Amino acid sequence: MGKRYETVIGLEVHVELATKTKIFCGCPAAFGGAPNTHVCPVCTGMPGTLPVLNKKVLEYAVAVGLAANCKISEYCKFDRKNYFYPDNPQNYQISQLYLPICTDGGVEIETEAGKKTVGIHEIHMEEDAGKLIHDEWEDCSLVDYNRSGVPLLEIVSRPDMRNAEEVIAYLEKLRMMIQYLGASDCKLQEGSMRADVNLSVREEGAEKYGTRTEMKNLNSFRAIRRAIEGERERQMELLEAGGRVIQETRRWDDNKGESYAMRSKEDAKDYRYFPDPDLPPIVIDKAWLEEMKKAQPEFRPEKIKRYQKEYDIPDYDIEIITASKRMADIFEETVERCGQPKKVSNWLMVETLRLLKENGMEPEDIRFSPENLAKLIKMTDAKEINSSVAKEVFEAMFDRNADPEKYVEEQGLKTVNDESALREAVEKVIAGNPKSVEDYRNGKEKAIGFLVGQTMKEMKGKADPGEVNKLLREWLQEMKE
Amino acid sequence: MELLEWTALELSAKIKTGEIKARDAVLAALERIEAGEGIYHCYITVDAEGALRRAEEVQRRMDGGELSGPLSGVPVAVKDNICTEGLLTTCASKMLGNFVPAYSAEAVRRLEEAGAVILGKTNMDEFAMGSTTETSAYGETRNPWDIGRVPGGSSGGSAAAVAAEECFLALGSDTGGSIRQPAAFCGVVGIKPTYGTVSRYGLVAYGSSLDQIGPIGRNVSDCAAMLEVITSYDKKDSTSINREDTDFTAALTDDVEGMRIGLPKDYMGDGLDREVREAVLEAANVLAGRGALVEEFDLGLAEYAIPAYYTIASAEASSNLERFDGVKYGYRAAEYEGLHSMYKRSRSEGFGPEVKRRIMLGSFVLSSGYYDAYYLKALKVKALIKKAFDEAFAKYDLILGPAAPTTAPVLGESLADPLQMYLGDIYTVSANLAGLPGISIPCGKNSEGLPIGLQMMGDCFQEKKMIRAAYAYEKARGTFGRPTLASGTDGAGRGVCAEGEGGKKSGKTI
Amino acid sequence: MENRINDEMIEHIGILAKLELSAKEREQAKEDMGKMLGYIDKMEELDTSGIEPLSHAFGIRNVFREDEEANGNMREDVLKNAPEEKDGMFLVPRTFEG
Ligand SMILES: [Mg+2]
Ligand SMILES: [Zn+2]
């Protein structure tokens, strides 16, 4: 290829909000449920029914807008976007076009190439659509409206990104910010965070943007990266061959690794937006906005600073723990219950991260409670269990938030503090391992480790290794004398 | 006097004293329906069984002292675009020929709570689009004053049912005059309340920013009582208003002394039938004679109201009616190839010509490239009209005028020229655009004996002033009289009960 | 003004509004819409510069509900009017091409 091209990327990110109920009716917004069990006349578009806005949706929208440095509109409205498709029971989506709730913001991202700001054109509130299930057998489709009316925020960036690294950094940034706000769990795989990629290419140095395409159906970072590369190649090849890019929506097929155009004669792309007469406008006055500003949580940079001041733990730990709001919350709540930030941090940094990795889980999926972690730490401190037992207990906590006290009780894992039982075991081990005893006496320090291990085995693991070590040394010393 | 000639308030008073039973009132109404429906066709569905069951229940609760409101035991009718749980709700369309809602409109719920007994669902223009009740998919309704004429519309079935004594009171809906104009044509009283006064929940939307449910009755008192019952602040309707001062029956006082009444010159000029004009001026004189200060004034913008109205109503309708697609309820075409063909066939076969006309117009005025020129422009005209009314109400307590330019037209005449039919709404649509309350009361008959309707409009939330003046006028006017009611069939072979597709459900609870 | 309603536009509106018109209906629609728009064009006479479009007749604003669950499982109610149903879902013609 002769010319050098620059890729220009803008993103439309849809985030499903973590409200209890849907945006315009009192149905549960929770994921799952048998088909059409989270529905009512409103979210199935029955005649005569009317929408009423869930206040929490507005509050989350403002919170995300503030976090993304947006201007919060004093006056905003809902509009109807009209198009026929069976996943949308009214055949219009209630969204915001003319006066969205947040405009003109931006977030800072960092890639290997350095820091830059990605502008946010607007953030608006809208409703999600139902789910279509294709029935190959009967050659028809089936509609489940459980997701119909689940609240969404659509975050529209400016075309400020130039490559997949920046796109992913931007998505990671949004995700962390929104998770910190508790506004969404932002899981790409489950669809609670979805990104549509608008991409165009232009000759390097050109002032005008090229014609862009929009790609949908990207449900992992990997798919996003591959789709960007693929579409960039496709457009460049088109231009090189003297063709031109058509503005269109394309669907990414991650299995085939290619995109295809979603075109239909019946798809006129004329949405006839107009203000929804069923929903009065929203006016956010200064006082209310101030209140919402005050309710904003502490974001990561402030959290890092505070941790550095408050807790005596390494910067590296702070970096990892604050990378997830869930992790940071567990850390703080556990420390509040049992003190000992260093020990709490260790549990998170070592065992927790290991198990998350082994299970392919995200910190957001952690099941154990701060109460139980605090209990576990207190039990080890009190030498009620030894450290290897503690690890076993922790695995049970990680797996199913088992109560450590109950678990130790049920499994009979409590450390035996019975001096005579321990003495008996030590005696037995010394008698049974003359070679090791001999080695130790000859100055081989290492031999003591073997003897401790054997004694622990004899005690079925329920002894305090430190105690065993001390006793063995005393015993061997006595024997020497 | 015969039971069916009593007003709703008289009837409930007699049920309360035990003079008659709620069941007797229902039986009398059903008998009248049986006799009159073959001619008038006011109803799409008559729920005789349900009504009798309800009457017994209401009677028990009245006897037990649980129910004592002014509508207790009163048989009422409900326009068929207002949802009734378990009872067919067709909007007079083939599209909803089999639709049985699982919920009731808030207004219906309140009526039932107050002890009213629902007799059935009344005929109307399909999806409330029309001014004659001739666009119904289930056959037209006849005007009880002259069965060769239309009852008006779109709430023609409700107005005719009241006039034909096939119920005591009825619910209608008014988007551009659909309560006031048929009330005028049928010689009864109809009120369109201030926008937001009666919940729209369960009213199948036509023009959402204009639609209001309201009462149609024999006189002002009955309507005031019904309005008081159905008024509510409903959290299910975001445009519902939390109003104080909704004890409308308290305004039934015969006193217009010092009331300032404006008579817009714009409403009294070209296009107004001479006899209607004279009757309205005479009514104005009557009010002046009772101490009101009546004067003519220039309201302005009257000629822009209909263009703005049809733009906005059609636009909203085109979107509101998108949900009728053959997927979740209602009509689905028998044959189609693929999804979009299913949509197109179902909608083309399910909707009648007038509905299609408005959907197409509405889709056009919202479409890319035309939105600003039509829809946005109409919203600006609406703002100007609202301003003109604000200025008028700074000077006047009420605005007086005709409810319609003519008396009831002959059947078939209006549909021949839709644009001409739209022009008939000239005096009523402004109240919907500006959200104002309006009332229509009979103010005389023309030389052919057809009723003429007087319209009064109040400022927003000023129903009480309007009701007070209407009541005073009604007292001064004296008894209006009733049409001579016929029985049997219309000779066109129609049976005693309506036999439209929806009509087949007559007499059954679904 | 009336010529904006040509065959192409009627075709476009048919797609937007999901209506299928016979040749006769198309001609009628062209005529009706042309007439109606010719009449609606009267609005152009009015100077509306500087006027805010009024979508809600009066200043209702900030109407919300609290984020509280209000209904249980209503599947039966919602499906009972469905023209076609399968496995608790609404059955529609295949929605994807291919
Ligand atoms: Mg969107
Ligand atoms: Zn719902």
Structural domains counted in chain B: 1
Burial A301-318 (b: 16+ CB within 10 A, else e): eebbeebeeebebeeebb
Out of C17, C48, C77, name the one closest to residue B360 (CB): C17
* Residue B310 counted as domain residue: no
Least confidently predicted of A224-233, B269-278, B307-316, C89-98: C89-98
Out of A41, A89, A279, name the one closest to residue B102 (CB): A41
Contact indicator for B390, C63 with CB cutoff of 8 Å: no
* Residue B10 counted as domain residue: no
- Cβ of C78 within 8 Å of Cβ of B102? The answer is yes
Ligand at minimal distance from the CA of A96 is 1
Q: What angle do CA B467, B472, B474 make, to 5 degrees?
A: 90
- Cβ of C63 within 8 Å of Cβ of A28? The answer is no
Out of A20, A139, A143, name the one closest to residue C90 (CB): A143
* Residue B437 counted as domain residue: yes
| Segment B12-21, tens digit of pLDDT | 999 999 999 9
Query: What is the CA(B6)–ligand 2 centre distance, in A?
Result: 44
Q: Is A183 touching C (CB cutoff 8 A)?
A: no
Least confidently predicted of A129-133, B196-200, B254-258, B486-490: B486-490
- Cβ of A86 within 8 Å of Cβ of B327? The answer is yes
Which of C2, C11, C16, C75 to probe the B interface (max B CBs under 10 A)?
C16
Catalytic site includes residue B178: yes
Close Cβ partners of B434 (under 8 Å, ≥ 6 residues apart) = B382, B385, B386, B389, B460, C57
Out of A53, A89, A277, name the one closest to residue B323 (CB): A89
**For C18, which residue in chain A has the nearest alpha carbon?**
A84
Chain B CB contacts of C83 under 8 Å are 326-327, 329-332
The rounded percent of chain B whose pLDDT value lies above 90 is 92
Residue with tokens 């029914």: A49
**For B385, which residue in chain C has the nearest alpha carbon?**
C54
Contact indicator for C87, A142 with CB cutoff of 8 Å: yes
Chain A CB contacts of C65 under 8 Å are 26, 52-55
* Residue B115 counted as domain residue: yes
Q: How far is C47 from chain A (nearest CA, A)?
A: 22
Whether residue C1 has pLDDT greater than 90 = no
pLDDT at B498: 38
Q: Is B202 touching C (CB cutoff 8 A)?
A: no
Closest among B173, B172, B165, B394 to B299, alpha carbons compared? B394
Which of A46, A95, A98 to probe the B interface (max B CBs under 10 A)?
A46
| Segment B157-195, tens digit of pLDDT | 999 999 999 999 999 999 999 999 999 999 999 999 999
Give the pLDDT means over successive 10-residue stretches in chain A (481 positions): 87 97 97 95 98 98 97 97 97 97 97 96 98 91 97 98 96 94 91 94 93 91 94 94 92 89 79 97 97 93 93 94 92 95 95 94 91 95 86 94 92 77 85 86 84 86 82 79 63
CATH number at residue B129: 3.90.1300.10
- B-C C-beta contacts closer than 8 Å: 158
pLDDT at B432: 98
Catalytic site includes residue B21: no
pLDDT (mean) for B135-157? 98
Distance CA A159, CA B343 (A): 37
Query: What is the CA(A81)–ligand 1 centre distance, in A?
Result: 9
Contact indicator for B138, B44 with CB cutoff of 8 Å: yes
Whether residue B293 has pLDDT greater than 60 = yes
β-pairing, A75-76 vs A114-127, is unpaired
Chain C CB contacts of A35 under 8 Å are 87-89
* Residue B316 counted as domain residue: no
- Cβ of C70 within 8 Å of Cβ of A135? The answer is no
User: What count of other Cβ atoms lies within 10 Å of the Cβ of residue B181?
Assistant: 32
Out of A86, A274, A280, name the one closest to residue B239 (CB): A280
Contact indicator for B107, B199 with CB cutoff of 8 Å: yes
Out of A41, A45, A141, name the one closest to residue B103 (CB): A41
The rounded percent of chain B whose pLDDT value lies above 70 is 95
Query: What is the CA(B489)–ligand 2 centre distance, in A?
Result: 46
pLDDT at A409: 87
Distance CA A207, CA B495 (A): 77
Residue with tokens 């920013």: B209
**For A275, which residue in chain B has the nearest alpha carbon?**
B316
Q: How confident is the model at residue B509 (pLDDT cuts 50, 70, 90)?
A: very low
Query: What is the CA(A23)–ligand 2 centre distance, in A?
Result: 9
Out of C16, C82, C95, name the one closest to residue B363 (CB): C16
List C-alpha distances in Å: B325 to A376, C17, C83, C89.
Answer: 60, 10, 10, 16
pLDDT (mean) for B209-218? 98
pLDDT (mean) for B457-472? 98
pLDDT at B503: 39
What subunits touch chain C, counting only 3 or more CB pairs under 8 A? A, B
Ligand at minimal distance from the CA of A94 is 1
Query: What is the CA(A43)–ligand 2 centre distance, in A?
Result: 4
Which of A58, A142, A263, A269 to probe the C interface (max C CBs under 10 A)?
A142
Q: Which domain holds residue B391?
A: 23-299+387-481+494-505
- Give me the half-sphere count of Cα atoms (radius 13 Å) on the Cβ side of residue B324: 36
Q: Which of the following is catalytic: B12, B21, B72, B79?
A: B79
Contact indicator for B55, B23 with CB cutoff of 8 Å: yes
Residues 96-155 (A) with a CB less than 8 A from some CB of C: 132-135, 138-145
What are residue B483's phi and psi, to 5 degrees? -70, 160
pLDDT at B277: 97
Question: Whole-angstrom distance between the N-terminal and C-terminal Cα of chain B?
Answer: 35
Q: What angle do CA B471, B475, B481 make, to 5 degrees?
A: 105
Distance CA A26, CA A38 (A): 9
Q: How confident is the model at residue B501 (pLDDT cuts 50, 70, 90)?
A: very low
User: What count of other Cβ atoms lies within 10 Å of the Cβ of residue A327?
Assistant: 21
- Cβ of A143 within 8 Å of Cβ of C89? The answer is yes
Chain A CB contacts of B345 under 8 Å are none
Query: What is the CA(B47)–ligand 1 centre distance, in A?
Result: 45
Q: How confident is the model at residue C98 (pLDDT cuts 50, 70, 90)?
A: very low
Whether residue B229 has pLDDT greater than 70 = yes
Whether residue B46 has pLDDT greater than 50 = yes
Q: Which of the following is catalytic: B72, B93, B131, B154?
A: B154
Which of B192, B335, B377, B510 to probe the C interface (max C CBs under 10 A)?
B377
Query: What is the CA(A127)–ligand 2 centre distance, in A?
Result: 12
Domains and CATH numbers, chain A: 5-287 (no CATH), 298-411 (no CATH), 419-480 (1.10.10.410)
Query: What is the CA(A157)–ligand 1 centre distance, in A?
Result: 13
